[in-house]
Homo-oligomer: A and B are copies of this chain.
Amino acid sequence: MPHPEPPAAETGAEALVRTLIGAGVDTCFANPGTSEMHFVAALDRIPGIRCVLGLQENVVTGMADGYFRVTRRPAATLLHCGPGYANGIANLHNARRAGSGILNIVGDHAVPHVMHDSPLTADVDALVGATSDWHVFGTEPARIGTDAARGVAAAASGHGRVASLVLPADVSWGFGGLSAAPLAPDAPRPPDPAAIGAAARALRSGRRATMLLGTPAVVEDLHPLLAGLSRATGAELIGSPMIAAIPRGRGRLALPTVAYPVDEAIRQLAPFDVVILVNCPPPVGFFLYPGRPSLMHRPDAEVITLSRTGQDAGAALRALAAELGATPSAIPAAAGGVPGVSGALTPESFAATVARLLPADAIVVNEALTLGGGFASVMPHAAPVDWLTVTGGAIGGGIPLATGAAVGARARGRPDRRVVTLQADGSAAYTLQALWTQAREKLPVTTLLLNNRAYAILLGEYAKVGAQPGQTARDMMSLDRPTLDWVALARGFGVEAEAATTVEELEPVLATSLARDGPTLVDVRFAG
């Protein structure tokens, strides 16, 4: 895209908008405040960036994460001062763990106002510094273009990073703004030949090996190569639990991931003498428990890092295959379709119903750790889809991710891609406001609200403490007094909603929702 010619005298905000457009930023997820009004005015005057409003900042940052996972291009966010930015930190945490590129524009007080410590003054530098991969504090209109160009490049570097630009109001409104030409992001670094050699030797040794795969190692193009490597070496392929987007369905690898429950993960990795890490960290448990280890692999296993975060996973896998003489291999097609089911909704019948109706190129967002497990056996028979998870463990990612994913698909000319969210009820309550953005933008999102009326994951965790919960503990983990009426909540935000308690009820509701122009929420009630 040619860099737009700046007019003679523009504000910092105008220079910033022009720089963002020149750098290919086409979407700004926003929850603006007073100090950003001149930036809003610049977005209004200069066409080229579509603004998508969120009712709360964690919705905004989660949408930007979903947008990147679908487009691989950074969006901007617009957030207000310290507390506004703080509201968005949780989903920025998830975005960093996903390797998603985002450029936050954080409005702040005019610089001469900060010393007066007005009510909304906060230590935005400390907050941004602790929670972004890269940040800069805007200092003058003449520099803001350069700052923004560096920010977009930082967000797009490696496999994607969270970058933040603090924009004081007076830098925004001041004249003398200069836009800047786009800067090239850093490409992923080449792999380390010594690591390739070490992995090849281990895979040739005859010991039992697994390759653990992070986000850039599981893109669809690499599936035949991964299948070939597995066939040639006998290594089992397992996904990291934190993959930003996994291609699943017919024609793709059926990739198990490291289990969330610690004892299950330890059993899963116990057979392996060799653990080869491909763009992912060692398999660490989400939490440490008394008497359990932090790492899930066998303590005596050899752990080899084939490629790290920021390195080119594809190049590493191709080099490894060349070293081993492995060639790409066709993915074996699963026989038959998804089996038909009927009757009460269980995790299994639910998964089969959804998998059978998923259209090709759908995007599935999963924030249903305790209820989403029935999909492993049916997904190899389903249409090909992209499967997104909440990567960082911060609750409340699902609905915003799905919203941003749909915006991203639309921005890339694929408004037809359906988004299906597998959403636990407890987590949904953190960021349910994102439903409103789905309605406003008429996004093709179906939220399957898995209603177990509890923090089910906490009830499981509490059991590990070794005590029966009394009334106080139960009250801190149950959502049944009163129950949340998700149909009413969704309609309150302008989203169509129905409930389903059997396969026979779910099927037509889901099918209808998948043919509808806008969003739907289905309150899915499991048996028992």
Q: Tell me the A residues contacting B by CB distance below 8 Å.
A: 30, 32-35, 37-38, 40-41, 43-45, 51, 53, 55-56, 58, 82-84, 86-87, 89-90, 93-94, 97, 109-110, 112-113, 116-120, 122-123, 126-127, 129-131, 169-170, 173, 241-242, 281-282, 284-288, 290, 294-295, 391-396, 426, 429-430, 432-433, 436, 439-440, 457-458, 461-462, 464-465, 467, 469-473, 475-477, 479, 481-489, 491-494
* Residue from A33, A51, A471, A487 with most neighbouring chain B CB atoms (10 Å): A33
Which of B90, B169, B287 is in CB contact (< 8 Å) with A34?
Answer: B287
* Residue from A35, A457, A472 with most neighbouring chain B CB atoms (10 Å): A472
Contacts of A173 in B (CB 8 A): 290, 465
* Residue from A30, A83, A117 with most neighbouring chain B CB atoms (10 Å): A83
Q: What are 19 A-B pairs with beta-carbon distances under 8 A?
A: A32-B458, A33-B395, A34-B286, A44-B470, A56-B396, A84-B90, A87-B89, A112-B294, A113-B288, A118-B287, A119-B392, A123-B130, A123-B131, A127-B127, A127-B130, A439-B482, A484-B492, A484-B494, A489-B493
Which of B122, B130, B481 is in CB contact (< 8 Å) with A440?
Answer: B481
The residue on B at minimum CB distance from A397 is B83
The answer to whether B120 and A484 touch across the interface, beta carbons within 8 angstroms, is no
The answer to whether A482 and B436 touch across the interface, beta carbons within 8 angstroms, is yes
- Cα of A288 to Cα of B169 in the assembled complex, Å: 8
The answer to whether A53 and B475 touch across the interface, beta carbons within 8 angstroms, is yes
Minimum Cβ distance to chain B for residue A447 (Å) = 14
Which of B242, B430, B461, B486 is in CB contact (< 8 Å) with A55?
Answer: B430
Contacts of A484 in B (CB 8 A): 436, 492-494
Contacts of A464 in B (CB 8 A): 37
Contacts of A294 in B (CB 8 A): 112-113, 116, 118
Which of B113, B130, B169, B487 is in CB contact (< 8 Å) with A126?
Answer: B130
The answer to whether B392 and A83 touch across the interface, beta carbons within 8 angstroms, is yes
The residue on B at minimum CB distance from A47 is B472
The residue on B at minimum CB distance from A96 is B122
The answer to whether A44 and B169 touch across the interface, beta carbons within 8 angstroms, is no
The answer to whether A119 and B90 touch across the interface, beta carbons within 8 angstroms, is no
Contacts of A113 in B (CB 8 A): 284-285, 287-288, 294
The answer to whether B45 and A119 touch across the interface, beta carbons within 8 angstroms, is no
Contacts of A242 in B (CB 8 A): 119
